[in-house]
Structure 1
């Protein structure tokens, strides 16, 4: 008898343990789903480039946020979605390790790399948590209002983040360079137009899933069609219509011909020097830089180009020493304009700069990089962290940014200049286009990263060319250099880790898109309209909520 009781107790204990394990798995499921869907969004960019996933990857997160009871478990799942997306999309950051070529020991280099990657991923999680917090407040609201507010808040948060120094992975860039049609919405109100499209479509699909039960949104045309139409959902129909309509608008903009008057033509040559950063600061690296860029310049000059563009920091020396280089001597000899990347000087500090040398070998303009890479090019909170970081790394702490309102005049008219990291900041390009910039010169050095980073960088430049309706010439140290037309089509792209020269004809343009004229007008419009709609509907929502609470009360009869 005792054995039977022990056996029974053992089985009950086993069942209890299995039940607790099942409960733990159930509690973990929202986190796993959110993380997985965030990872799917991260796969939309290089190196995987599964851009179609962007139109469904927010759906699981949206459903989790809206359907979880009483707002429980909302924030952690949203946090994990943000980590999944930004962590995967920005995994290329880990390419900076090891920094032994800078004199940083292997372990500190690993620590710096993990910190940089982890910080930006966590920051993405924080922004998604804020978005989820707003969405939780909308529990019980009309689905269309949730879509409107959810889209507005997402765009508002991206605008807020892009106004700071750490910005790269907008939802919009998930579509570049593959979906050029939808990227043309950027001509209307910048990249947030594309972001809004992606969030709205995802939101409608999610609401369709949430409201899949019943026959809401179904129109019974006849008894013959009533059965299949039970499965039709107005939110899914709205998502499909919106997706098609937005692509049709983009296709209309994409299909417009590009004027190419001969008088606006400008033949530009690019030199991709292919000098690893670990050598660039050494005497051997400087010798190779002079040789590669001078020979490339001479080759392109003999091909009849009007100007030659070099990458960021092509000659790693200060402005005062540029006149003594073989490259500037070649400019004086050939009389072909040169845009040369080097270091400018500002008091005791220096800038990363792009200099215009005219046909006489004289500097006639200079553009200083204004968006610097944290830790890599400057130390945030230098008074607090300066000593700590310098103990880990010999990186210069005295690099300073250029002015935010620079213009870059050249012998061929005003240009839109961008140096490396600035490609992620559309306002830099919009402002210069509004000030009369007629073509884009993008000068970069991505040599210390894997190939996925420069491909994402090229994708950013494609978006900037479309938004401003400008031709773009992009020169990099090791790849990918290229030429882009105003529709975002890549006319030529270099190999990776190769020495190359290439010439292409671009055209100066003075058109102004709605985005160039009015900046991002869509995000404020969405925020104002969604706020107004919420204020109008909130009283009605509160009344319905009170009535529902009253009706749910059960009054028991009094006992005699």
Structure 2
């Protein structure tokens, strides 16, 4: 701790610049959405770690990461600021490791390749953070700040990791150009030969930025279907959004009954299917007859299948609950279902419950653990074969990709953001739907209990969206697609390759550094 304190004091100015850069990266994400700041932040961190020791780079990375995540995750303050700080520290630790790596690779031979090592290390950092601990937490990926930038189409080639790589490579190239210009100035004057490194780095930045415009984004439809999305709303935002039992379900039932009246009166064309959000039924319809009857009433009134979000008791494991999307038919009732595969740790289940609950009493507000599903969410809902992913699952590459590869012709994101309403979290999640639409060449329909519900076209355009904390119903004709993008075909290969290049570049830097010290001792 003493050494850490001394390091912090010595690095005060650099740490302050790193913190400002981290805040700049936070502003690149919704609800602010100033995506060019992501390039500035990447370039700044690369410059701040250039030529430093691994320990200094780690501290700079942490000083960058902590304010970034504090700003990005401030929506968790609904749970408590201790949760914001705790999660931010954990996530910033990954950026500390990356900062150490950036410092190491800045010493490698061939300075022209420095931006490449920088970009690969960003991919490696996100690769690790997306997977550990407890299945990872992908929030804050560079790709999610660039869902409406020139880099977004790269998702159709290599998914979110390739978008991150493109952004980081551009930022690294800008840092390389800035460093070369500083050296040019210090060399005592301009000459074409001396200007080549700066010009080359700038050309790389321009070329990578322009590359996105050359990527074709497939949008041609093989078929289409008419849908209705029901946003029933909740009684209050925050941790206690549920209110009394049946209230949220009644909201969705009433909104669907009103939709049926409009259809019967000819004011709205009858949809082929209806989508309700996650937790639209706040009671298990298989355990509570009243809940079953109300859902059945709503489905029969509209006369088409409804994808119902509900919490269902696990059939065999007592004390566990499943977060499901259930296909409810007007004639045959409930049928096929999808169970959320990736429950949120400390939100939907409590790791080490017996031990931690004694220390953190707030965890008792999660009375039962969610049990994970074991298959993708491909469901036949009326005439459409939809891929259901639930809430935070839209942030995980493999869950959405596996669903599309299993045959989903459109993607549905059932979500419940009532806890984090008006905090920026719904906007951060919505842009993930934009990226997934381009990545997989599929429309993405987001159905939320309290907002934001939306329809995103395969090219990433938000065609419709609702306001938060309003009851709303909208209809849309969405394209259904069978073709796959290159990103669907190659899967996680680009991410693994780029991450391994980043790791191996660090390993090479360590070996070269040791060899150099050995040579010095030999002399």
Give TM class, smaller chain. Answer: 0.7 to 0.9
Contact 1:342 1:352 in 2 (8 A): yes
Aligned twin of 2:156: 187
The CA deviation at 1:418 is: 1.2
Contact 1:329 1:361 in 2 (8 A): no
Q: 1:480 aligns with which of 437, 444, 452?
A: 452
Contact 2:234 2:248 in 1 (8 A): no
Aligned twin of 1:114: 81
Asked whether 1:438 is paired with 2:409, we answer: yes
Aligned twin of 1:123: 90
The CA deviation at 1:340 is: 1.0
1:404-483 equivalences under 5 Å are 404-451=375-422, 452-483=424-455
For 1:189 and 1:129, locate their aligned partners in 2 and report how far apart those are by CA, in whole Å: 26
3-state secondary structure, aligned to 2:116: helix
Contact 1:65 1:74 in 2 (8 A): yes
Normalising to structure 1: TM-score of the pair? 0.81
User: Number of matched residues?
Assistant: 498
1:372-387 equivalences under 5 Å are 372-387=343-358
The CA deviation at 1:314 is: 0.8
3-state secondary structure, aligned to 2:96: helix
3-state secondary structure, aligned to 1:502: strand
For 1:393 and 1:544, locate their aligned partners in 2 and report how far apart those are by CA, in whole Å: 56
Query: Which piece of structure 1 moves more, 238-247 or 425-434?
Result: 238-247
3-state secondary structure, aligned to 1:232: helix
Asked whether 1:91 is paired with 2:74, we answer: yes
Q: 1:265 aligns with which of 209, 218, 224?
A: 224
3-state secondary structure, aligned to 2:370: coil
Asked whether 1:28 is paired with 2:12, we answer: yes
Change (3 A) 1:156 1:356: same
Post-superposition CA distance 1:10-34 (Å, at most 9, x none): xxxxxxxxxxxxx998741011011
Contact 1:328 1:361 in 2 (8 A): no
Gaps of 5+ in 1: 1-22, 98-112, 219-225, 554-560
Post-superposition CA distance 1:207-235 (Å, at most 9, x none): 2333334459x9xxxxxxx947477352x
Aligned twin of 2:177: 208
Structure number with larger C-alpha Rg: 1
1:94-105 equivalences under 5 Å are 94=77, 96-97=78-79
The CA deviation at 1:117 is: 0.8
1:289-438 equivalences under 5 Å are 289=251, 291-299=253-261, 301-302=263-264, 303-320=269-286, 321=288, 324-346=292-314, 347=316, 348=318, 349-390=320-361, 393-438=364-409
Change (3 A) 1:404 1:233: farther
Q: 2:214 aligns with which of 245, 252, 264?
A: 252
For 2:393 and 2:156, locate their aligned partners in 1 and report how far apart those are by CA, in whole Å: 19
For 1:534 and 1:127, locate their aligned partners in 2 and report how far apart those are by CA, in whole Å: 15
For 2:136 and 2:360, locate their aligned partners in 1 and report how far apart those are by CA, in whole Å: 18
Post-superposition CA distance 1:387-426 (Å, at most 9, x none): 4445664322332222254543333243211111111112
For 1:153 and 1:279, locate their aligned partners in 2 and report how far apart those are by CA, in whole Å: 40
Query: Which piece of structure 1 moves more, 482-491 or 53-62?
Result: 53-62
3-state secondary structure, aligned to 1:374: coil
